[in-house]
Each structure stands twice: as C-alpha cells, then as structure tokens.
Structure 1
C-alpha cells in the first residue's frame, strides 16, 4: 500500500451573506488538504471549523499531518479515529481537520485500489441524494424568493432560520408559505434562541398555521430535560444539532428522550467513518437522523454525498448543498448542482471532484500575514478579557 509522503494544507476564505439569529456572517472559512503518496497519488479533503477559529483548525491539521506522514494509507485510515479520540480529551476540540484528512486518505485509497469512495465507507445504496434548501434570515420578500428558488429546483424540504421573535418569524413564514406549496416540508432552526421550554412552546403554537413540521434546536444544547418536555407540548418534531457535541452523545439524547431527530454535522464529529458509526447507532436506538451542513466547498458537498450513499436508510434529505448553489463560488472544476431536488453522487473513483487551481488561488489566504496575526491576537485578547470589556466591545461594534 502506498505511503504518505507529505501533506499540504490550504486555508480558504469566501465572502458570503448568511443571516443568523446573532447577526450576519460575511465570511466562511475552510481547510483544504492535499495528501501526496507514492505512485503519484493525490488525495483531497475539506473541513470547516466548529466552535473554534480557522487558525486553531490549521494548527491542529498540521499536528495530525505530522502523525501520519510516512505511514501507509490503510494504517493511516485505521489510526486516525484513535488520534481523533486522543486529541479530543485534551482541549476545546475542532473535528473539522479530521474530516479533511480522513477524506483525503480515503480519496487516495479509492483511486489506488479503483474502489468507489462510498463502498470504502461501507455501502452503495443510491446514486442520487435528495437535498434540502436553507433560507437564511433576511427581509420577508428576499426569504420568500430564496425559498421559491429552491422549490423551483425540485427541493421539497426547506430549512428556515428564525429570530425567535414571533412577530418577526410569523411574517417571514407567511411570505414563504405564500410562494411554496403545502407539501413542501418546512423546518425552522432556532439555534437555541427560545431559551426555555415554556417560551418555545408558546412561540411554536403561534407558528402552527404555517405547517412547521420540524423545529431544530429550540432551546439550550444541554437542556435535555427541557427538550423532552417540549416534545410533549408541541406538534412539530424536535431535532437536535448543538446538543450533539461528540459521538457518544447519541446515547444520552436517546436515553433522555430529548429528540425525534439528530442532525449530524460531519465537520462537528470529524472522521466520516466516526460519523457513520454514530448515525448507525442512532438508528439502532430508534431515532431518525439528518446529515447536516456547514456551507462547504464542492469537496465538502461530495463528502456528504458519499456518506449518504453509503447508508442503507436515509431519513431526510442532505442539508449540505455547498457554496456554489448558495453563492456561486467554489474551488472545483465541476461544481455539484441540484437537479430535480437531488445532487448526483460523483461516479469517478475517489471523492469525484477536481481542484480548480485558479479559483483556489483566488480564495486562499495566508495565515502568517500581519493582518491575520493581528486579528488572531485581538480575538485572543477579547476571549481573555473580563465580561464588562466584552460588553463594551460589542456595544462599540453595534454602533459602527
């Protein structure tokens, strides 16, 4: 089996407009890993930071690379989940680099052995994956236009971000329902914004007329008792996202009866093989699942497609549709597109997409530049500062 000779890591930064409950995100960051092995093999993978920043992700990715360079591909694939477990015990953890590195390893193995990527993961059950469309916070008119765009592509499941203010969300959902058929499923994502069970129950009852089928993470991630209570008070199914922070959390969520559905954000759980095992355990425990998203590159979209293809049961459409479908930006030569509500799983051996070097240069950033280092130091100082200083910084930011 070919050995890994070296690993290159690129950091990508894309301009976006993502309206969320806490404000507008203007950039999204990603790791891109290129793994080189004997016999001129190249494997690629991508991951996105979660609960941390891109500088931390980059640093962790370099540490992972040092542990597997010189190892043959199969041994590296076998060792990586244990390396992930070892790192996760030591620090506030970022799984994104493990997703990127393991994908690159499997990509290289798939090309070397001429075996499909999804078969290496564990199965081949479908070649087209249904997807959902996300509607970020914006004006009611713009949100309705985005919803209409997804439905025009055959999408039958919409994820709608909410403010958790009933008077605002009622207007937004009214505009959306006016332009999409009733058979299109609407899931609202509260990002923990309702705070308490009682407040969530009151707000969700006011939104019943808009046929909300699922509410995602309505209250705080660690309030599993509150989530269990909420399940009995409202009609929509309860999905958790932030409540899942490590693979073993599926056991706790099932034990506490805190959710009907678990959203698996692969960058949050790291290795695709680890995520797949956690999904299978979720099904064994009688819960449904969804493969989530992080507004990823086309490489990340392909990762999610192969994961979905490898699972015998797919309870809900994939959430990840990528930067290209959302913002017309990517770093691959063959962007993955929605057709009739689905995205086709790439057919080639490996991950099935190729890097566009010109686009890669356009979106790559240098983490050792003075501006990035200044921002890194400023972020560190902010995180270490007392609460009253943080409040002053936030007030100053809002006034700009």
Structure 2
C-alpha cells in the first residue's frame, strides 16, 4: 500500500465545562484530524492530540503539524508499506515528536484494517467486545462540588473514577469521595504536582484504598518515584515520563511504578503502545489506556487498543458526550454500565460527521504524496 495524499483539518472544539488540573485550566481542545488516502482510494483517519500549549509535553498543535508536514509525511512519499508496524521504524530517524508520529501511524493502521475488511480492534488482536471505561474528574474548588460531580458519574455507571489533585486540593477531597463511595474503584492523578517534601501528604492519601496514584513527581524522574513507591502501599502509575517501551523497562528495573498509563499519542502510536502493554503484562505491571480529551477518531483508536486482553484496568476513554456537546462522528460512543462496545465495521468503525467537522474546522490543507 502506498499513501497517495493527506488532508489535515485544524479544529477547535469547546469543552462542555472547564477542566482544571495542576497544570492549568482548559476551556477548549485544539486538535488536528488527519485523513490519509491510499493508492486504492481507501481512507484512514488519525487524530493529533497535542494541546495548544506545551504544558503536557513539549509538543503543541502548531509544532506537531509542522513536523507532520515537513518531516514525517515526506518519509512516506512513494514508500510501499507492507504492514502498519513499518511506520514506527520509518519514523525512527526523527527524534521525539511522538504525538505527530501517532497521528499518522494510527491513520495507517485504519487503512490496513479496512484493506483487510476487519474492525481495527480485531486487526490489533483485541478480544474484548465491551471495554471497561472510567472517567477523569478535574480539580474542583470545594469537596461538595467534587462529590456532586463524582456522584453523577457513578449514577451513570462508570466503573472507575480518577480525581485530579494538587497540594491543597487533595486529602480532604479524597476523603469525602471515599466516605461516600467506600467500594468505588478510585484513583488520583497529580500531573507532577508534588515533591519529596510532600511525603506526609502522600502518605495521608495512602490511607484511602486508592487503586493507584498517578504521576506524583516530575516528568523526567524515575528515581524519586522508586523512593516513594517503597513507602506506599498504593501502586504508583507513570504517565508523562513514559514515551517508549525503553522508558517502561527502566521504570520496571528501578521499581518506580507498578502501573503504566498507556496513551497512544504520547508513545508515538499503536505499535509502541502494544509493545508496552505486552511488556507490562509479562512483568507484573498494570497497563491501562489513557485519554487526551480525544474527539471521535482518537477515541475509536483508544477503544480498539483497550480491547486487547493486556488492558485489564478501566481506561480514561469515557463516552463521546463526556467532553463535547457534539462529536465529529455520526454515531457517538455511548457508555453503558461502565462499558463501551467496540465498533464492528471495518477499520475504526465510525464515520465522520461532515457538518460537525466543518463547524469546528478553522482551516484545512491537502497534501499530495505521490
């Protein structure tokens, strides 16, 4: 298969409600949808999930699209692909820029799955037809406000809740949720908001039977996480500092964590994500599928990945209506009793809602590759 052309759609999608983390406040999601067309006319879709500002990783929507156009797509020009795994190797000459790579690589996976007339989940080796999903809740100003929000998601049937935390918005908030829902699968995500001197606070969190504590320390750290894990019974989960299988192997050797948040965009695509999940499964680490405020295309890829048996813990996938009033796909993903059914049609199994795409689209570019 040869990629004939690429179309990039630049979107700004307002969030239904402001989402607050230790990094800052989000009111809308900037993203880019990439459509690849093969020499046989088969269309594959990927989603660039870098944020507008470089507060999660170094990449932004603007820098990543520049890399896509000037460096990654030219590597595919007139290249005859035999399988989607090749893209990961072809892009090795470009350092970093994992989100830019993932946007193209996932679209290639979609093309190949459609060529084989298989749902992407099946093509990836997925066996789970109904994927367990969780929900991530941003920082609230008062514990009562958080309790109300969490209660609504529990009533909707979500099987796992993740709370964003930072100093001053942590122990009291966790306690109120745990008191109300003693059996809830509950975890917290710090987005690197704590330091070694916060050990007393982190040990207080350890009392509340948390499923895991995600990324308490810095994005380049494995040593301090290992120091902390020795002192807590709560499993530490790593997120921002995991960009590849090599990072996971180091974390495993240092005993820095007992769980890994596998985000397709952050690790450069589905190929690397599967390698990481496989390693975790073989080395007594929990692997689960993280989220990046994806629209329908990215969500479809996440659901397909999470259908693999290595993903035993509910991911940050959630229903289409979690973040946006209207998604960019015609049949939106719906959560029922904490599960989302994998699409049964070939490829990612969803169609673009052209009107919705047009309403969010600020501009687009068409690029001929051969």
| TM-score when normalising by structure 1 | 0.83
More divergent stretch after superposition (106-115 vs 338-347):
106-115
CA positional deviation for 1:78: 4.3
Hey, what's the Cα distance between the residues in 1 that align with 2:319 and 2:20?
A: 16
Partner residue of 1:57? 64
Q: How does 1:153-172 map to 2 (within 5 A)?
A: 153-165=156-168, 168-172=169-173
| Aligned CA distance change for structure 1 residues 73 and 175 (closer, same or farther; 3 Å) | same
Partner residue of 2:104? 101
Hey, what's the Cα distance between the residues in 2 that align with 1:20 and 1:280?
A: 30
| Aligned CA distance change for structure 1 residues 238 and 279 (closer, same or farther; 3 Å) | same
SS in 2 for 1:106: helix
Counterpart contact for 1:127–1:345, Cα < 8 Å: yes
- Verify: 1:67 aligned to 2:67, yes or no: no
CA positional deviation for 1:33: 0.9
Counterpart contact for 1:9–1:33, Cα < 8 Å: yes
SS in 1 for 2:266: helix
* Aligned Cα root-mean-square deviation (Å): 2.1
More divergent stretch after superposition (153-162 vs 317-326):
317-326
Q: Deviations over 1:106-134 (max 9, x none)?
A: 2222222212322332x131111001111
CA positional deviation for 1:170: 3.0
Partner residue of 2:4? 5
CA positional deviation for 1:352: 0.6
Counterpart contact for 2:319–2:335, Cα < 8 Å: no
Partner residue of 2:368? none
CA positional deviation for 1:354: 0.8
Counterpart contact for 1:216–1:240, Cα < 8 Å: yes
SS in 1 for 2:248: helix
CA positional deviation for 1:321: 2.4
More divergent stretch after superposition (135-144 vs 335-344):
135-144
* Equivalent position to 1:365, from 341, 362, 365: 362
Hey, what's the Cα distance between the residues in 1 that align with 2:357 and 2:364?
A: 15
Return 5+ residue gaps in structure 1 as ranges: 369-400
Partner residue of 2:150? 147
Q: How does 1:1-400 map to 2 (within 5 A)?
A: 2-16=1-15, 17-49=18-50, 50-62=57-69, 63-74=71-82, 77-88=84-95, 93-121=96-124, 123-139=125-141, 140-165=143-168, 168-179=169-180, 181-196=181-196, 198-199=197-198, 201-208=199-206, 210-309=208-307, 311-321=308-318, 324-366=321-363
Structure showing greater radius of gyration is 1
| TM-score when normalising by structure 2 | 0.89
SS in 2 for 1:366: strand
Higher helix share: 1
CA positional deviation for 1:270: 1.2
Counterpart contact for 2:132–2:340, Cα < 8 Å: yes
More divergent stretch after superposition (341-350 vs 231-240):
231-240
CA positional deviation for 1:176: 2.7
Hey, what's the Cα distance between the residues in 2 that align with 1:298 and 1:220?
A: 31
SS in 2 for 1:207: helix
CA positional deviation for 1:322: 5.9
What is the number of residues matched between the two proteins?
355
Partner residue of 1:376? none
